[in-house]
Every structure is written in C-alpha cells, then in structure tokens.
Amino acid sequence: MSTLAPAAPGARRAGPARAWRTLARTEGRLFLRDRGSVFFALIFPSVLLVGVGFAIPGMRDVMTGVPVEWAGLRPVDVYVPVALAAAMASPALTTLPVALATYREQGVFRRLATTPMRPRAVLTAHVAINLAALVLAAVLALAVAAAAFGPPAPTHVGAAAAAFVLGAASMFGVGLLVAARARKGSAASSLGMLLYFPLLFLAGMWTPGPAMPDVVGDIAAYTPLGAASQAMTEAWFAGSVAVPQLAVMVVWVVVLYPLAARTFRWS
C-alpha cells in the first residue's frame, strides 16, 4: 500500500474545496495503481457474472418447476442482482477499510493533523473514490450482462435503485466500522475477508433466487447485503417493493455510521 503522496505545490494556499479535489485525484491515482483493488472493486462482479453464466451448466436454460414469479427466467437472469451485491461488497470490504487502516498504521492521519489538510479529508476522499468504483463496477456488470445474456430490465426501476443505494450505504457502513477498529491494514484485510464471503453467500452467490433455502433466505433478509440482494430481486422480477428488506438496510445505516464515527481512531 502506497503512503500518502505529498500535497501539490500551493495546496496549502488553495481553498478547502480545491485542496480536497487535489487530494482526491492523488488518492484516485494511488487506487488505480493497486491492481488488486482495481480487480476486486471494478472487474470482479463482471467476471463473476460471466463465469457463472458460461461455466455452470444450465445457467442459460429457462427454469422449470418454479413459482410463477420466476416463470420464463433463467438462473443467469436472477444472478444479476447478486453481481450488483458483489459490486457493493468488494470496495466496502476489500479496499476502503484496508487503505484507511494502513494510513493509521503508517501515521499518515497523525501527521495530517498538524497540517491544514485535516485527516477527515482523507477519509471522505477514500469514501468518494470507492463510491465511484462501486458505480463503475455496477454499470460495467450491467453492460456485460446485457451483452452476454440479455437479461430482462428491472420491472420496478425505482425500487431497484432504492435497494441499490441503501445496500451500498449499509455496506460502506460495515466497511467504515472495520476501518474504525482495525489497528493495521493486514487486520482490516483479514476482517474484511472474514465478512466478505459469508455476506456474499447470504446475498445468493451460490444459491440465487429460488435456489435459496427458506431458512437461509430468512437469515439473509436481516443482513445488509442479503437484504439488498433480495430487495433488488423483488424489484427486478416481481415489480414489488420489498419494504422489510429496505427497512433492515435503513436500520443498518442508522446504527453503523454513528458507531463507526464514535469508535474511529485517527492514530
């Protein structure tokens, strides 16, 4: 992980907004130099979708013996919300907390506290960069899905968008809490991975849509990523608003952000 690059000449004399933009551009370049971060944050959801669609037999065949709301759909169709859930989880758990914990470990936040560029600016810059990565990853996954498989468009666009936004917000809350508590970048990476794959499982990575057992679905509905995947699936294919899952994500947001702010250590 690269250390924070020095501010550009004149950054101290620039206004706060201009200085923040300079910082964000610098951090963005550092992000793009990390091939692992770029892969997981930007490319992995599309690779996951294509790999599942072409490598697993029957994924492109119309499902039979399923409830009426799934009639005429293929397994790869119902995998699209899962790929979007992966797009949420990847930057929130694999890049954001590791970068922030590494900066704490290296004393970057402590040194910034003595300069006009406050440590909070680095925090907001990293959140902005990872949010941008999430949006790009989601757009790329949808474009790849459309080109490779031609899945149906969301039946209820507004509900799907709300589920995506709330899911992203709740997952970034999880990532910020990990960043708040991990003392080192390696600890943040380990804890992020410890959460990453179980949450993807509950989002339907291995048992999407009608393949998910009821008991697993009931548990998943109370997790941020599982609730997001279920709410997007309902909006996408049933055209309905999954109010309980949306409420669950709101609760996660309300709980996680104040908790992360209260427990965040700058040094």
| DSSP conformation letters of 187-235 | HHHHHHHHHHHHHHHHTTSSS-GGGS-HHHHHHHTTSHHHHHHHHHHII
* Percentage above 70 pLDDT, the chain: 94
- Give mean pLDDT, residues 32-57: 90
pLDDT band at 142 (very low <50, low <70, confident <90, very high): very high
More confident residue, 44 or 4: 44
Spatial CA neighbour of 188 closest among 205, 170, 174, 202: 174
Number of C-beta neighbours around residue 250 at 10 A: 14
Under a CB-based contact definition with an 8 Å cutoff, are residues 77 and 60 in contact? no
- Give mean pLDDT, residues 69-85: 91
- Give mean pLDDT, residues 219-234: 96
pLDDT at 21: 87
* pLDDT tens for each residue of 92-129: 999 999 999 999 999 988 887 777 777 788 888 889 99
* Percentage above 90 pLDDT, the chain: 65
Query: Among 188-192, 204-208, 230-234, whose mean pLDDT is lowest?
Result: 204-208
Per-residue pLDDT for 231 more than 60? yes
- Give mean pLDDT, residues 126-143: 93
pLDDT at 165: 96
Mean pLDDT of all residues belonging to the chain: 89
- Give mean pLDDT, residues 130-135: 93
Per-residue pLDDT for 248 more than 50? yes
Per-residue pLDDT for 173 more than 70? yes
pTM of the model: 0.87
For the chain, how many residues are written?
Answer: 267
Per-residue pLDDT for 3 more than 50? no
pLDDT band at 15 (very low <50, low <70, confident <90, very high): low
pLDDT at 50: 93
pLDDT band at 227 (very low <50, low <70, confident <90, very high): very high
Alpha helices, H only, the chain: 16-33, 35-38, 44-55, 75-78, 80-90, 96-105, 108-112, 119-148, 157-181, 185-202, 214-220, 224-233, 243-263
